[in-house]
Amino acid sequence: METYIREYLDHLKVERGLAANTIESYGRDLSQFHIYLVQETLDWQCLDRQQIRLYLDRLRAQGKTGATVSRCLSSIRSFFRFLYHEGSIPVDPAAALDAPKVQKRLPKVLNLHEIEKFLIVTSDLSPIALRDRAMFEVLYATGIRVSELVTLKVTDVNLEVGLLKCYGKGDKERMVPLGSVAITALKIYLASGRSKLQRSSSVQSLFLNHHGRQLTRQGLWKLFKNHAKKTNIQVNVTPHTMRHSFATHLLENGADLRAVQEMLGHADISTTQIYTHVTKTRLREVYDKAHPRA
């Protein structure tokens, strides 16, 4: 089974062009499923629907969330569909399995006051401080993902036109507008920060760590955690919080849903529509607080 898992992951990379993080997630789910089959001495080529259901039940018993169980089932279904189409198994045991219903949680967003507090400008002019300020401004100005931010190159940003080029899931290219504040922060960082962090001209990454190399996703998450503590915001702020806030604030101010979908890089507009629920919820909160007969 391990051989077929590797072939399947290669298929996801080469033929479907999925992102590395997505492929890693599929591989992790399938490896755990394989370990379970070995422990239970089950033949992966002769599985039936009930045996897969028992595995999902075990995940629930281990305290896995509905979203995690649903994702694991998606990985298993996709894998067996691949095996069936390749002729490696006579019957697809996961074909008729329905994914468990997952309650959609509204994404956490910061209000404008919290955003201003998080993006507050300090008097620190060190290269690291200039970099962090530029990164935070870019994340809120564009709503791009963490993986998209850390892989940005200097040439991906056109400050004269005010556009940023990034590569989303499936390596799909898109252009996102940059606001004036983010442009100013980037200009200052490029002039006085990045040049001092850069150790080699061969490194083209826009945001560098203190070693002069490309900043990692883990490094960015750590920066956010530390900065959120300093600002004392009573919300668990992550890089993705900025993405949610970006989309919500655009829609609250009359942006077209299709335009927001394009800027976020969502393949399906139904993914973007979650933010319309956020805006309705916040409108309800404002009404309840402000209307005398609410």
What is the tens place of the pLDDT at every residue in 165-195? 988 877 788 999 998 999 999 999 999 999 9
Structure tokens at 160: 């004269």
Domain count, the chain: 2
Across the range 87-92, mean pLDDT stands at 87
The answer as to whether 97 is a domain residue is no
Same domain, 6 and 42: yes
Same domain, 77 and 216: no
What is the tens place of the pLDDT at every residue in 119-137? 876 668 899 999 999 999 9
- Domain span at residue 65 reads 2-85
Catalytic, out of 11, 34, 108, 169: 169
Q: Confidence band (pLDDT; 50, 70, 90) for 104?
A: low
Same domain, 145 and 264: yes
Active-site annotation holds for 53 = no
Report whether 228 contacts 143 (CB < 8 A): no
pLDDT in the model for residue 172: 83
Q: Confidence band (pLDDT; 50, 70, 90) for 150?
A: very high
Active-site annotation holds for 213 = no
Q: How many CB atoms lie within 10 A of CB 122?
A: 9
Q: How far apart are CA 265 and CA 168, in angstroms?
A: 6
Q: Confidence band (pLDDT; 50, 70, 90) for 291?
A: low
Across the range 44-55, mean pLDDT stands at 88
Active-site annotation holds for 131 = no
Q: How far apart are CA 255 and CA 252, in angstroms?
A: 7
Catalytic, out of 49, 213, 266, 282: 266
3-state secondary structure 211-254: CCCECCHHHHHHHHHHHHHHHCCCCCCCHHHHHHHHHHHHHHCC
250: pLDDT strictly greater than 80: yes
Q: Would you give the end-to-end CA distance of the chain in angstroms?
A: 60
CATH number, domain of 227, equals: 1.10.443.10
Same domain, 8 and 134: no
Catalytic, out of 133, 194, 243, 244: 243
CATH number, domain of 50, equals: 1.10.150.130
Q: How far apart are CA 46 and CA 215, in angstroms?
A: 46
Catalytic, out of 77, 131, 133, 145: 145
Report whether 164 contacts 138 (CB < 8 A): yes
Active-site annotation holds for 4 = no
Q: How far apart are CA 103 and CA 65, in angstroms?
A: 10
Q: Confidence band (pLDDT; 50, 70, 90) for 286?
A: low
Q: How many CB atoms lie within 10 A of CB 192?
A: 13
- DSSP label of 105: P
Q: What is the DSSP string of 251-272?
A: HHTT--HHHHHHHHT-SSHHHH
Q: How far apart are CA 138 and CA 229, in angstroms?
A: 20
Same domain, 163 and 29: no
Active-site annotation holds for 249 = no
pLDDT in the model for residue 88: 86
102: pLDDT strictly greater than 60: no
Across the range 25-51, mean pLDDT stands at 90
Q: How many CB atoms lie within 10 A of CB 292?
A: 4
For the chain, the residue count is 294
Active-site annotation holds for 275 = yes
